[in-house]
Amino acid sequence: MILSVSVVAVGVVRAIVSPPGTCITLLTTSRGGPLTTKAVNEAGPGTIDATGCDIGDYITTSMTITSLNVHDADKYGIFVDSGGAVPTAITVTITGATVSNIGNHVAGSFMPDGSQRGIGIIYDSGTSPAPLASGAITSSTVSAYQKGGIVINHNSNVNTTDTTVTGQGPVVYIAQNGIQYSRDAQGIIRGNTVSNNYYTGTAGLLADGSSCGFPMTPPCPPGRRYFSTGILLFDIDPSNIQRGQNDLNGNQRNFAVVTEAALG
């Protein structure tokens, strides 16, 4: 069962959690739409079982989320969105959260695959210009994600500290990233433990933008295969990120920077 809820109404409601076995429909978000969510603006403490929903907790207002356990969403565990249907600058602090089993599900069970989805925690301001999503993630745990543990996107300004992010270990079907800051995001990445993001597949991208390493495509030459990272700075000015004292281990690459110039 899907509950249809006006996104405008969502913006003025402190918290909504749909009944068991149901999801709330969001007509649009900064990540597209429609999407479904189990909860809107839920601050915790408590547990959100998001089985059957795209999102576990969809955040549209300034708040502090404390000791919230979110699991089994199909796309995003906690989604902080300042660029949705009613763009609004927001500041959100997440502390003591636990997020897991985010990605593809089969018959209600987490079964990760190669589709590019499944992010534990994401802050997104939408494409520029848009109101800023800012805040902090601290003392939290993110694991069993399909694509990314934490993503800070589109000019968002977020500090990620003292948080544990654990990938699936060596996998052939997807290149995971532990913590990713992308598209002009800013903030501090410090004191985190990020591990077990490792891609063993053969797929990649040639210099002309065509695929390689897939069936019916040429093999990838050296340096053109996809890779996993512990911390990835993507399409970003690295000087906007302060990082240090992070424990990075068991990752294919512990740290990588992909600049706008490198993207061509």
Longest dimension (CA), the chain: 53
- pLDDT computed for residue 23 by the predictor: 97
Q: Do the domain assignments include residue 44?
A: yes
Radius of gyration of the chain (CA): 18
CB 156 within 8 A of CB 123: yes
Q: Do the domain assignments include residue 48?
A: yes
The reply to whether omega before 238 is within 30° of 0 (cis) is no
How many independent structural domains does the chain possess?
Answer: 1
Range of the domain at 61: 2-201+230-263
pLDDT digits (tens, 9 = 90+) for 73-114: 999 999 999 998 889 999 999 999 999 999 999 999 999 999
- pLDDT computed for residue 260 by the predictor: 61
Helix/strand number for the chain, H first, E second: 2, 28
Q: Do the domain assignments include residue 171?
A: yes
- pLDDT computed for residue 10 by the predictor: 44
Which segments of the chain have a pLDDT < 70? Answer: 1-14, 128, 260-264
Beta bridge partners of 2: 23
Q: Do the domain assignments include residue 133?
A: yes
End-to-end Cα separation, the chain, in angstroms: 45
Q: Do the domain assignments include residue 114?
A: yes
CATH number of the CATH domain containing 101:
2.160.20
Strand 177-182 with 148-153, pairing = parallel
Q: Do the domain assignments include residue 223?
A: no
Distances (CA, A) of 48 to 19, 69, 194, 239: 11, 6, 24, 37
Q: Do the domain assignments include residue 217?
A: no
Q: Do the domain assignments include residue 215?
A: no
CB-based contacts of 197, cutoff 8 Å, min separation 6: 149, 167, 168, 176, 177, 178, 228, 229, 230, 250, 251, 252
- pLDDT computed for residue 69 by the predictor: 98
